[in-house]
Structure 1
Amino acid sequence: MLAAIWAQDEKGTIGKDDRLPWHLPNDLKFFKQMTEDNTIVMGRKTFEGMGSRPLPNRQTIVLTRDRTYHAKGVLVFHTVEEVLEYAKTFAGITFIAGGSAVYEDFLPHCDVLYRTVIHHSFDGDTKFPPVAWEEWTLINLSEGEKDEENNYDYQFETYQHKVTAE
């Protein structure tokens, strides 16, 4: 199964300078909970923005056009097709985890979307690509808890692709 997972602000901002423009520990916990023991796919800039290190307890795929790119502890793929073939044979969930161009390439192939919406506006330079929401059904919505560590109101949303659900 192929799924996209991301957090965005109210304007669709997902990044600034190849990093998250906010600190929301509960969203990071959600990301960890969802992706552990699965595969995450990200572009080279997103991977390097995370410190060029794979996250523990998950397979990381770095997608790049650079045929000479190598990074320790990750798989390096160069085409969308390679990732789709991998996802077909992987028993778990293959999560698309950024950046914007990678999301755009994979949205048409996703079965499920996991979106965290932060009810705030941030300064950023990267937006999530447009989604044809009429093709998706909201199947779960839960409000996040604002507290001393999580300074913003937010919610977790899960969408199923209508074609997948039929």
Structure 2
Amino acid sequence: MVELRLIAGVARTGVIGDGETIPWHYDADEQQYKDRVADHPVVVGRKTHEGMTRIRGTHPVVVTGSPEEYDEDGATFVSTVGDAVDAVAAEGDTGWVIGGQSIYAMFLPYAHRAFVSELPETAVASRVFPYLGTDWSVEARHEYDQFEVVEYENQAPLDPENASA
């Protein structure tokens, strides 16, 4: 069974970016992020995928409304949660959901864990991280000099095989 994990850097305002860039940079956050997702499949939206550099050893599972229009070595293009989970399963037993906003929202009900870097930023922008909901509980806190990564666990993740989208 595939375990889905969300990972995001989130400002105090809930912001994750402006649709083009991430409006801050923390070396330690970038490093812990890369260390966690390295050598795993990553589920990512098409626009986010096109705007980022591939992380060592990752296999992008790119969610798009028209997967047949794309072909890229070492990446899989899908349009549904179920197809994304199947693509993750073909690469390993853990998949990291890395954004953007609509992808986080799409996969949130099926995710088992979330690793949220709580950053001391107060940026206002158009892209935000979704509310986790009441089924999520804090499992651990990982302290860094300038921020904290809070690890959440979903007490009732949905089965992606029953996903309609």
Determine the structure 2 residue equivalent to 1:155: 148
Give deviations 1:51-88, integer Å, cap 9, x for gaps: xx432211111111123123343111122110122344
Determine the structure 2 residue equivalent to 1:39: 41
Supply the distance in 1 between the matched residues of 2:24 and 2:8 (Cα, whole angstroms).
Answer: 13
Determine the structure 2 residue equivalent to 1:15: 17
Equivalent positions of 1:111-126 (< 5 A) are: 111-126=112-127
Shift of 1:36: 1.0
Shift of 1:144: 1.4
Determine the structure 2 residue equivalent to 1:64: 64
TM-score, normalising length: structure 1:
0.85
Supply the distance in 2 between the matched residues of 1:98 and 1:163 (Cα, whole angstroms).
Answer: 21
Give deviations 1:112-163, integer Å, cap 9, x for gaps: 111001012113221112220x211211112211xxxxxxx31111011113
**Higher mean C-alpha displacement, 32-41 vs 70-79:** 70-79
**Unaligned stretches of 5+ residues in structure 2:** 158-165
The residue type paired with residue 73 of structure 1 is: G
CA contact (8 A) 2:41 2:96 kept: yes
- How high is the sequence identity, in percent, across the aligned residues? 23
CA contact (8 A) 2:61 2:88 kept: no
SS class of match (2:114): strand
1:2 alignment partner, one of 1, 4, 10: 4
Equivalent pairs, count: 154
Supply the distance in 1 between the matched residues of 2:151 and 2:126 (Cα, whole angstroms).
Answer: 25
The residue type paired with residue 54 of structure 1 is: R
Supply the distance in 2 between the matched residues of 1:87 and 1:17 (Cα, whole angstroms).
Answer: 25
How has the CA–CA distance of structure 1 residues 87 and 61 changed in structure 2, closer, same or farther, with 3 Å as cutoff?
closer
SS class of match (1:122): coil
CA contact (8 A) 1:54 1:73 kept: no
Equivalent positions of 1:18-97 (< 5 A) are: 18-50=20-52, 53-66=53-66, 67-88=68-89, 90-97=91-98
**Unaligned stretches of 5+ residues in structure 1:** 146-152
How has the CA–CA distance of structure 1 residues 91 and 11 changed in structure 2, closer, same or farther, with 3 Å as cutoff?
same
